[in-house]
Structure 1
Amino acid sequence: MAATGTKPRPELSEAEASVWVRDMFGRVAPRYDLLNRLLSFQVDRVWRWRTARAMAPFLKPDAVVLDLCCGTGDLLQALERTGKARYIAADFCHPMLVQTRSKSEAPLVEADGLRLPIADGSLDLITIGFGFRNFVNYRAGVVELLRVLKPGGRVAILEFTTPPYGVVRGFMQVWNRWVMDPIGRLVSGQGDAYQYLPESVSRFPGAAEFAALMREGGFAEVSYRYFDLGIAALHVGMKKSTISVAKQA
C-alpha cells in the first residue's frame, strides 16, 4: 500500500501531521459548510443522505452509533433523520464540534480517531464521512475501529476516491486545480487548507486498495460502491462474530 497515512508535508512526523490537520480544520470550520455547498453544488449532502439510507437497517432504537470525524455534523444529521438510534458524535477538532452542536443534540466527544475513549466492543455502527483520509495512520485507524465495534457491528466509510474512469479523473484534476483551490483560498482565507484537501484525496488509496486494507485489518464482508462515476466511494465492513466451540470430551 503506497500511502500509510495523511502527510500534509513530507517532513512531518505522525504526531506533527495530526496537530497540523487538527489546526487546519479548526481554521476553516466557520466556513466549511459554505464551501462544501459551493464547491460540490450540494452533491456532498446527497452522498451523506445515500450513506444514511444505506445504513438504515442498522439504525435501531437500541443500537449505539458513533459518527466519527463528524466535522460540522452533516452526516450525523442525515443519520438522525433516517433512523432512531443512540447517537454519539466525535471529532478531534473542537471548532468543528461547535458547528455540530447547532445541528444535533447527540453527545459530543472531542477525541482522536486513533485513540478513542471508548471501551472494546461498545458500538453497533461507526460512520465516517470524508474524514478517514485525514488519519495519520490508516492501518492503525482500521484496527481502532475494529476494537470498539461489537462482534457483528459494522463500519461505513464515505470518502473521496480515485475515479475508475480516465475522463472523470482528468476532470477532477482540473476542478481541484483551477476551481477548488482558488475558490477555497478566496472564501476561507486559508490557502494551505485548500491546497492540502485535494492533495489528500489524490494520495488516498483507491477503492479496491482501501477495501483490501480493511480486510487485512480484520473486517469481514467488506464491500464498496461508487457514487457519481467514482468521485466518492462508500466502504462497508463487519466485525466478525466470535464463536466459541466447546471441545468434546
Structure 2
Amino acid sequence: MKNPSPDNHLTSPIPPRTAVWRMFDRIAHRYDLLNRLLSFRQDVVWRKRVVNFLPERNQLHVLDLATGTGDLLIALQENSTRVASGVGIDLAEKMLEIGREKLRKKSLDERLTLQKGDAMAIPFPENTFDVVTIAFGIRNVEDVEKSLKEMYRVLKNKGRVLILEFSLPENRIFRAIYLFYFRNILPRIGGWISGDSTAYRYLNRTVETFPYGKEFCRLLQSAGFKEVSFTPLTFGIATIYQGDKVGEGSGHTI
C-alpha cells in the first residue's frame, strides 16, 4: 500500500506540538459533538471495534494516550468485561476536564482516571500495562518513533498496542469523494461550529500526509512489536493497528 505524496494544498507547515494541544484546548467544548457530526457517528462504531482486538485474558490494565475526553477508555470499559482499570493521558487540560466530568456522570471515575501526560515521555515505569491504546492521536505526536518505543517500554510481556487512526481509502472513486469532503466540507463545518477553522484544516493536512497501512506497520515493527497487523474500517477511512510485545518484562502493578 503506497501512501500518497502531499498535494499542493498541503504544503503549509504543521504547527509545533505545543500549538497542537493548545488548539485542542480551544475546541474542547465542541470536540465530542463535532466528532459525532463530522464522522456521521462512525467514530463511535470504530472505537467499539477496538474492543474486538483486546487480548484474550481478564483483568486488563489499559493506558490510553492522547485520550482527549476519554472516549476510547469509556468505550473499552463499557463494552468489555475484561478491562479492570484504565488511565488516560493527554496534554490538553481542558479536554481532560471534560473527560473527567464524563467519567463522573457515568460512575466510571473509580476504574478510569485521566491525567496530564506526554505520549513521548509516558510517566509510568516499564512493564506496567497490558494494553496501550491511542485513537486519532498518533499523527499528532511530534516524534512518532519515539512514542511507539515508549508504548513498547510500558507494556508488559505479551502486552498489546492498539492504534486507531485515520487513513485513506484505496478505491479511487471513494477516495476522491472522501478527499473532497475532507478538504472542502469538513473544515467549513468544523470551523463554523467550533469557532476555530484552523483546527480542521490541520486535521485535513495531517491525515493526508501521515503514513498508513503497511508503511505504518513497519514503524511498529521498528519499535520492537511482533505479530503486527492492520484492519481497515469503513472502506479504509480509518484503520486499527495491532502489535504485541513478546518475551520481555514480568510486569509492575499500578
With normalisation by structure 2, the TM-score equals 0.87
- Confirm or deny: 8 A CA contact 2:3 2:212 kept in the other structure: no
Q: How many residues align?
A: 234
Give the deviation of 1:242 after TM superposition: 3.3
1:161 equivalent among 158, 167, 170: 167
1:150 equivalent among 143, 156, 159: 156
- Confirm or deny: 8 A CA contact 1:139 1:217 kept in the other structure: yes
Q: Distance in 1 between matches of 2:215 and 2:141?
A: 16
- Confirm or deny: 8 A CA contact 1:162 1:207 kept in the other structure: no
Counterpart for residue 247 of structure 1: none
Counterpart for residue 98 of structure 2: 99
Q: Does 1:69 align with 2:66?
A: yes
Counterpart for residue 194 of structure 2: 188
Q: Distance in 1 between matches of 2:14 and 2:139?
A: 18
Q: Does 1:128 align with 2:125?
A: no
| 3-state SS of paired residue (2:168) | coil
Counterpart for residue 41 of structure 1: 40
Give the deviation of 1:168 after TM superposition: 2.1
CA RMSD of aligned residues (A): 2.1
Q: List alignment gaps of at least 5 residues for structure 2.
A: 5-9, 104-108, 250-254
Give the deviation of 1:234 after TM superposition: 0.1
Counterpart for residue 246 of structure 1: none
Q: Does 1:199 align with 2:199?
A: no
> Aligned in 2, Cα 1:110/1:164: closer, same or farther, shift over 3 Å?
same
Q: Distance in 1 between matches of 2:135 and 2:117?
A: 16
With normalisation by structure 1, the TM-score equals 0.88
- Confirm or deny: 8 A CA contact 1:224 1:233 kept in the other structure: yes
Give the deviation of 1:11 after TM superposition: 7.9
Identity rate, percent: 38
> Aligned in 2, Cα 1:22/1:11: closer, same or farther, shift over 3 Å?
closer
Give the deviation of 1:10 after TM superposition: 3.0
- Confirm or deny: 8 A CA contact 1:8 1:21 kept in the other structure: no
| 3-state SS of paired residue (2:148) | helix
- Confirm or deny: 8 A CA contact 2:187 2:200 kept in the other structure: yes
| Structure 1 consecutive aligned stretches of length 4 or more whose deviation exceeds 6 Å | none
Give the deviation of 1:56 after TM superposition: 6.3
> Aligned in 2, Cα 1:73/1:8: closer, same or farther, shift over 3 Å?
farther
For 2:65, the aligned partner's letter is L
Q: Distance in 1 between matches of 2:56 and 2:133?
A: 14
For 1:118, the aligned partner's letter is F
For 1:102, the aligned partner's letter is E
Deviations 1:57-99 (A, max 9, x none): 35x22x2211111111111111111223121111111111111
